[in-house]
Structure 1
Amino acid sequence: MVLTPKQKAELHAAIADYLSTAGYTSALKAFIDDAGLDKESVASIDPKDAGLLEKKWTSVVRLQKRVMELEGQVASLQSELKSADPGGARRKVEQGRQIPRAPHVKTLTGHRSPLSRVIFHPVFADVITCSEDASIKLWDLDSGRLSSTLKGHTASVNDVSLNSDGTVLASGSSDLSVKLWKLGDSNECLRTLRGHEHSVSGVAWINSDELVISASRDTTIKVWEAKSGYCVKTLTGHSEWVRRIITSSVRPLCFSCSSDKTVKVWDVNQGSPSIRELRGHEHVIECLALSNEKASLILMRHMTKTGSEEWAASTEGAAGQGENSVAEGRGGGARSLLGAFIASGSRDKSIRIWHVESGKCILVLQGHDNWVRDVCFHPNGLFLLSVSDDRSLRVWDLEQARCLKTLADAHDHFVSCLAIDPQGSLLATGSVDSAVRVWECV
């Protein structure tokens, strides 16, 4: 190995310092003569070079030890991988709890009014929030700092939704408009979509980001062409305020909930009427979440445990009470619902999980002491998470159909929204206290 003149000088100085400090005078004299060093320069060694040889040697020994430890871990993992079944390592991660723990790790402050929605960016370590203060804010998760603020709405921003690659943001507001924002250096508003006659309470993307869907207090759902901004369809059927709209990423389906206490399933291609209507809640339905594939597998077990005959009997019994009813609508889109489950949270303080194909409510989760404001499925499929006006955050075990953990007083006021990142490692909650809290999931 060839050393630069500077490196060679530093090494000679370090060796000379070591020999001098250790009292090896004969060896030091011989080294100075052989290396052609200046005796005066050796006597006046730079303080930063003092003890340098010992420090370097200690570092080398420590690194060698660490390398040996890592080699042992690699050998152990290779042995485990050979003996494990395919996907075993992945399942071990999934079997980890990965549930939020107190205390929260960050608090994001900057909004001046209650939070309406919080979402994670699908690509970057960013959180996006909207509020009744008419603003949308982008936050850097690593630093916890505000990155930018999107201004343009003139009233409460009630919902935001990102397209699949996170480049365009849709927002819905009480100013009766939907806005599309190009995220980047300028964060410019691309276009404003107008047509609703009352507050826009929900927005979502569908059909490979070609369409934007909005829900409104005017009881309608509108389908917009993202490129042109034209309203191409209006879905009618709810009799009261449509509170929330969510969509399927693989099918032309959307799901809405309303103050009329129903959840409706729509085939966007077919339009009105809805192809399913789910009834059972006793009060306004505030929120919805569509199960992921892993959660669907767990929830399907609740169907098979019960048995088809028992289900038939329970459905007939509930029909007279108006629960679990199914409006068949036009059946063409119904076959594409197989395996989908919807969770709904209501002001009746309960969460219901529905099998969309059959229209059956398979689980009722009770435990919150006030309105349930938001729900989401954990990416690992094991849990459902919920927040409420009782100020708590709850984790529900889907396999056991019970509350696994409660974080009481998650905020200082009503907890209005939540979101979990795609890896399931971080959870964000928003509140009427105007703050966003970030929780680590372990």
Structure 2
Amino acid sequence: MKSDFKFSNLLGTVYRQGNIVFSDDGKQLISPVGNRVSVFDLINNKSFTFEYEHRKNIATLDLNKQGTLLLSVDEDGRAILVNFKSRNVLHHFNFKDKCYQVKFSPDGKLFALATGRFLQIWKTPEVNQDRQFAPFVRYRIHAGHFQDILSLTWSPDSRFIISTSKDLTAKIWSIDSDEKDLASTTFAGHKDYVMGAFFSADQENIYTVSKDGALFIWEYSQKRNEGDEEDNEDEVDISKYSWRIAKKHFFYTGQIKVKCVTFHSKSNMLVVGFSNGEFRLYELPEFTLIQQLSMGQNPVNAVTINESGEWLGFGSSKLGQLLVYEWQSESYILKQQGHFDATNSLTYSPDGSRVVTAAEDGKIKVWDVASGFCLATFDEHTSSVTQVQFAKKGQVLFSSSIDGTVRAWDLIRYRNFRVFTAAERISFNSLAVDPSGEVVCAGSLDSFDIHVWSVQTGQLLDTLSGHEGPISALAFSQENSVLASASWDKTIRIWSIFGRSQQVEPIEVYSDVLALAIKPDGTSVAVSTLKGQITIFDIQEGKQIGNIDCRRDIISGRNLEDRFTAKNSERSKFFTTINYSFDGLAIVAGGNNNSICLYDVPNEVLLRRFIVSKNMTLNGTLEFLNSSKMTEAGSLDLIDEDGENSDLEDRIDNTLPGSRRGGDLSTRKLRPEVRVTSVEFSPTATAFAAASTEGLLIYSVDDSIFFDPFDLDVDVTPQSTIEALEGKEYLNALVMSFRLNEEYLVNKVYETIPLSEISLVANGVPVVYLTKLLTFIGNFALESQHVEFNLIWIKNILSAHGNYINLHKNIFVTPMRAIQRFIGRIAKEVTTLSMENKYTYRFLTSTDGTVVQDDEEVENLSNDEDTADEEDAVLQSDEDDEEGWVGFEGKDNKLPLENEDESSDEELI
């Protein structure tokens, strides 16, 4: 079992607060997600999250024009400089004040920073002539505003900066000292905060937008008196020129306020986001309304526009929503939203390509692991969803909820096709699905019984009684279909549901059981207890065979309201969720603390410990509190200062006092606590996922080693490999490329081998290289256009080495999952393609292209058409039955019957 897991991605949340930025080519969108930064590739449909973390949530970030340096600043003014290409952290710096915005100049030489009421200008970090890296060198600092600066805008030629402030004014600043007199102007006249100010493309006009919905257009003109005559001199007297208001426009939004604004100078397009979720597009300077749309009921907190002016990016903090909109075609490029509330459970699909999460907001989301995007959202549950579980084939998903229902979801048609309920309304908190998909079981904290339903009929088959306390966890064995249940009565029970006798003997655990996991081979069961122990029992004998003491391994932080130290805390010294690896040699565990622990089961030792979050805005991330903030009334951080804010919407607090969970970070007395609600290993054995307060954390084995030779000797070189390939020694060339482990070389040899030789080469591949070959094909085939070529390789390898692979399943789990993912994706694409082109195919096959010349030919043709029509009628009736679920209406404009759906669901299960 590999233990070199590293953080690889963050799913489940796409935007938290701050500004969002497009890359210069417009293909990538950079979004702050709490104290991390996520990047969404809009062209290749992928996303990744930087590994580094800030100490608090990110307030602002920016990417330079060259796309090489990313600068992010958190709420306390601590900045991290990152190489955007290599994703390496270059430098840490503290600006020692709250930063509202950071902007790189268009020429990339400087960046401006709004810290409080000061405008700071810094030189862009670079390597100087002495080959010394100069991280942060301050160029100039300006003080002129009386309140905090809200936004910054550079002129296109990088000579001037406009800053807007809460003091109802905007100011223009010059970078060059010689032009100081030219740019010493204050733009006053607005009656509310100035949210943004922008230069026109020719820099002749300046546009300022205020919070109350007013747009002022300023132009640089000469003040004329009635007695003045026009100057005919060639030289212009600059002293007679000044910035003046040329026009005033208003959005007329009433009580609705402007939350964010941006301007694209090349197309003269102004984009404005409002507090009611509405956004508008205007063309300046005519102030022509182009479009007016809404992205929900919550405020639009961030807006940006790409370099070409085609895509608009919007962010909403309340729901954690991210939107990329193409305004010309009026279509969405990206529309993602995380869970509104805390995540309760997660599960991997059997092929490891998708992760499903369930949350307190009653929604279930399906996430694609490769791209990081949400594929579907189910919201039929009326209350918190407590657990989700896949059937073995991966086409059906089951979920339990506090609303008293267990639901079955079809992941091919994306709909709910079964609802299971008990005789009385009870809240279900645990769920288990039989590997065959025939039976689903659920437990509750209200009742001490386990409810068993038939998936085919939806009827309640049995109620398993025996526990004397609430059911805390359920799990089915993947091999022998026995059910293990854990309870607060300090016992676990093993049920043989399909056996004749339901008599079971309880296994004493001596402490309340919080979580349970069955070993994949079904021989043992592991439980996590309230005493901080992970105890392992043999299922057949009912005896304890192992015990891991976890108390010393758990990092429990100190909450702000704690009167005791973290060392003396008993609150979180246990795990609430555990999961076995595919080979049963490791257990990953998490709980209401700041640590995820990976244990070696045979030796009962800790392999790795992962820190969930370093975000100081969460409770429980700090082991020691700052003594300077401690008073007799408690920590200063707990004092409610919202009433002192200058804005009405900032003073109003609509949150529930004392709430310990939720996506809203502005809770009044208690902050969200760092915790892990669910962990699970991926079936591919190369990753595991953890549902935490920060989102869905994905940890994977780092495979990004460029040169990793295997069984190498002096004679094996890239040149000799190419020579063997040219000499038609295909098997030798393939083996040598794998021994060098150079991806480009393996790719070249693999694609050069002719079709007639594939069978012979596949038979001769040594078993040592089988895992490498299958892994390569599985990863390569997903992006390759040679579908049939890859399938022929897979067929010949499985035909030649199928018995060996079957006998060594534990070695080939990862490559076979990769092959399965490729075949599943290809099958889906081929099916979709055939469905979309079936009428074209039928037309092309029904016309033979002959020209009718005599009556005999006409008669034969008509007979053939009659026969074809009859066949088409049969085909059409079959297709109507097959496609009824999609929503197509039949000939009588009626939807398909319910029993037709049920029969198809039974086949699916």
Normalised to the residue count of structure 1, the TM-score between the two structures is 0.64
Give the match for residue 414 of structure 1.
Answer: 675
Give the match for residue 67 of structure 1.
Answer: none
Aligned to 2:696, which of 427, 436, 439?
A: 436
How many aligned residue pairs are there? 298
Aligned to 1:261, which of 483, 486, 490?
A: 490
**Residues 251 and 102 of structure 1, relative CA distance in 2, 3 Å threshold:** closer
Aligned AA for 1:212? V
Give the match for residue 12 of structure 1.
Answer: none
Give the match for residue 542 of structure 2.
Answer: 359
Confirm or deny: 8 A CA contact 1:373 1:389 kept in the other structure.
yes
**Residues 271 and 390 of structure 1, relative CA distance in 2, 3 Å threshold:** farther
Q: What SS is found at the alignment partner of 2:5?
A: coil
Give the match for residue 147 of structure 1.
Answer: 375
Shift of 1:250: 3.0
In 2, Cα distance between the equivalents of 1:439 and 1:364?
Answer: 26
**What residue ranges of structure 2 are gaps of 5+ in the alignment?**
14-337, 555-572, 619-673, 703-909
Aligned AA for 1:98? K
In 1, Cα distance between the equivalents of 2:8 and 2:590?
Answer: 15
Structure-to-structure mapping, 1:16-27, within 5 angstroms: none
In 2, Cα distance between the equivalents of 1:378 and 1:349?
Answer: 20
In 1, Cα distance between the equivalents of 2:391 and 2:425?
Answer: 25
Shift of 1:274: 4.8
In 2, Cα distance between the equivalents of 1:117 and 1:409?
Answer: 16
Structure-to-structure mapping, 1:26-45, within 5 angstroms: none
Give the match for residue 51 of structure 1.
Answer: none
In 2, Cα distance between the equivalents of 1:100 and 1:150?
Answer: 35
- Counterpart check, 1:128 vs 2:311: no
The 4+ residue runs of structure 1 with deviation greater than 6 A are: none
Confirm or deny: 8 A CA contact 1:236 1:273 kept in the other structure.
no
Shift of 1:272: 7.6
In 2, Cα distance between the equivalents of 1:256 and 1:188?
Answer: 29
Aligned AA for 2:532? K
- Counterpart check, 1:344 vs 2:527: yes
Greater gyration radius: 2
Shift of 1:417: 0.6
Give the match for residue 373 of structure 1.
Answer: 576
In 1, Cα distance between the equivalents of 2:441 and 2:427?
Answer: 14
Shift of 1:204: 1.9
Confirm or deny: 8 A CA contact 2:477 2:520 kept in the other structure.
no
Q: What SS is found at the alignment partner of 1:105?
A: strand
Which structure ranks higher in relative contact order (CA pairs < 8 Å, sequence separation ≥ 6)? 1
Confirm or deny: 8 A CA contact 2:478 2:520 kept in the other structure.
no
In 1, Cα distance between the equivalents of 2:372 and 2:364?
Answer: 16
Shift of 1:408: 2.8
Aligned to 1:389, which of 583, 587, 592?
A: 592
**Residues 407 and 397 of structure 1, relative CA distance in 2, 3 Å threshold:** same
Confirm or deny: 8 A CA contact 1:240 1:259 kept in the other structure.
yes
In 2, Cα distance between the equivalents of 1:211 and 1:265?
Answer: 16
Q: What SS is found at the alignment partner of 2:576?
A: strand
Aligned AA for 1:430? A
Confirm or deny: 8 A CA contact 1:345 1:375 kept in the other structure.
yes
Shift of 1:390: 2.0
Q: What SS is found at the alignment partner of 1:193?
A: strand
Confirm or deny: 8 A CA contact 1:168 1:183 kept in the other structure.
yes
Shift of 1:244: 1.4
In 1, Cα distance between the equivalents of 2:430 and 2:4?
Answer: 26
Aligned AA for 1:402? V
Confirm or deny: 8 A CA contact 2:479 2:520 kept in the other structure.
no
Confirm or deny: 8 A CA contact 1:111 1:434 kept in the other structure.
no
Shift of 1:434: 5.5
Shift of 1:415: 0.9
Aligned AA for 1:246? A
In 2, Cα distance between the equivalents of 1:286 and 1:441?
Answer: 29
In 1, Cα distance between the equivalents of 2:505 and 2:594?
Answer: 33
**Residues 104 and 261 of structure 1, relative CA distance in 2, 3 Å threshold:** farther
Give the match for residue 98 of structure 1.
Answer: 2
In 2, Cα distance between the equivalents of 1:207 and 1:291?
Answer: 14
RMSD: 2.0
Confirm or deny: 8 A CA contact 2:492 2:509 kept in the other structure.
no
Confirm or deny: 8 A CA contact 1:171 1:178 kept in the other structure.
yes
Give the match for residue 87 of structure 1.
Answer: none
Q: What SS is found at the alignment partner of 1:103?
A: strand
**What residue ranges of structure 1 are gaps of 5+ in the alignment?**
1-96, 294-338
In 2, Cα distance between the equivalents of 1:397 and 1:426?
Answer: 16
**Residues 104 and 340 of structure 1, relative CA distance in 2, 3 Å threshold:** same
The answer to which of 390-399 and 127-136 deviates more is 390-399
Instruction: Write out per-residue CA displacement over residues 348-395 of structure 1, whole angstroms, 9 at most, x where no aligned residue.
Output: 211111111221112221124423111111123321111122221111
In 2, Cα distance between the equivalents of 1:268 and 1:363?
Answer: 26
- Counterpart check, 1:251 vs 2:434: no
Aligned to 2:464, which of 229, 235, 240?
A: 235
Confirm or deny: 8 A CA contact 1:212 1:223 kept in the other structure.
yes
Q: What SS is found at the alignment partner of 2:365?
A: strand
Aligned AA for 1:143? S
Instruction: Write out per-residue CA displacement over residues 257-308 of structure 1, whole angstroms, 9 at most, x where no aligned residue.
Output: 112221111111358855231212423x121111123xxxxxxxxxxxxxxx
Aligned AA for 2:392? S
Confirm or deny: 8 A CA contact 1:113 1:133 kept in the other structure.
yes
Instruction: Write out per-residue CA displacement over residues 237-256 of structure 1, whole angstroms, 9 at most, x where no aligned residue.
Output: 11121111111223241001
Confirm or deny: 8 A CA contact 1:376 1:384 kept in the other structure.
yes
Aligned to 1:425, which of 675, 678, 686?
A: 686
- Counterpart check, 1:280 vs 2:509: yes
Confirm or deny: 8 A CA contact 1:234 1:271 kept in the other structure.
no
Q: What SS is found at the alignment partner of 2:7?
A: coil
Give the match for residue 108 of structure 1.
Answer: 12
Q: What SS is found at the alignment partner of 1:134?
A: coil
Instruction: Write out per-residue CA displacement over residues 16-73 of structure 1, whole angstroms, 9 at most, x where no aligned residue.
Output: xxxxxxxxxxxxxxxxxxxxxxxxxxxxxxxxxxxxxxxxxxxxxxxxxxxxxxxxxx
Confirm or deny: 8 A CA contact 2:352 2:684 kept in the other structure.
no
Instruction: Write out per-residue CA displacement over residues 71-121 of structure 1, whole angstroms, 9 at most, x where no aligned residue.
Output: xxxxxxxxxxxxxxxxxxxxxxxxxx4225343433431112222111111
In 2, Cα distance between the equivalents of 1:372 and 1:200?
Answer: 21
Confirm or deny: 8 A CA contact 1:393 1:410 kept in the other structure.
no
In 2, Cα distance between the equivalents of 1:233 and 1:277?
Answer: 19
Larger % of helix: which? 1
Instruction: Write out per-residue CA displacement over residues 114-164 of structure 1, whole angstroms, 9 at most, x where no aligned residue.
Output: 221111111351100111111111001111111111111111111111111
Q: What SS is found at the alignment partner of 2:377?
A: strand
**Residues 344 and 237 of structure 1, relative CA distance in 2, 3 Å threshold:** same
